[in-house]
């Protein structure tokens, strides 16, 4: 129900002429935690020196609308990487959405892996990805 309402808002911004861009913003956010959280002990990990809950979020942006679409918790070493999680999320975007808009992926350095970039190319999506330099 909630997703249908969000999609109708996004579809209402379909101007005549060329397909509009749908920006898909990908973010890895850490909710830092201190102390003991026995109920969340499997979810609290350390990543880049930050201890907490690491959440991969996918936002949809079209026109004036910025909608948090889906999120997943990254569970740490030994599980799927944040890039692998995001690829699954991108592949499961509704087909109605990806057919009506030109999809542009915006991601930060956490997702700048070779596999991630190659998989986006296979999906034929435009991408702007921050890459760190040393």
Give the total number of structural domains in the chain. 1
Residue 64 lies in a domain: yes
Residue 48 lies in a domain: no
Integer Cα distance of 54 and 76 in angstroms: 8
pTM of this structure: 0.76
How many residues comprise the chain? Answer: 134
Question: Can you give the pLDDT of all 134 residues of the chain as single tens digits?
Answer: 456 666 666 666 666 667 778 899 998 887 777 777 676 667 777 767 777 778 899 998 877 778 888 998 888 778 888 889 999 999 999 888 888 888 899 998 878 888 888 999 998 888 898 877 76
93 DSSP 8-state letter: S
pLDDT of residue 97: 82
Domain limits at 79?
2-29+57-129
Q: What residues contact residue 133 under an 8 Å CB cut-off, 6+ apart?
A: none
Residue 91 lies in a domain: yes
């Amino acid at each position: 129900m909630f997703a249908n309402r969000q999609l109708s808002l996004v579809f209402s911004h379909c101007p005549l002429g060329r397909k509009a861009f749908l920006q898909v913003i990908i973010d890895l956010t850490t909710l830092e935690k201190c102390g003991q959280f026995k109920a969340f002990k499997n979810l609290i990990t350390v990543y880049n020196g930050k201890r907490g809950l690491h959440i991969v979020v996918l936002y949809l942006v079209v026109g004036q609308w910025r909608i948090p679409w889906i999120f997943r918790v990254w569970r740490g070493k030994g599980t799927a990487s944040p890039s692998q999680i995001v690829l699954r999320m991108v592949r499961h975007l509704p087909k109605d959405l990806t057919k009506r808009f030109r999809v542009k992926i915006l991601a930060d350095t956490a997702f700048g892996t070779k596999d991630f970039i190659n998989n986006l190319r296979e999906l034929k999506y435009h991408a702007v990805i921050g890459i760190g330099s040393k």
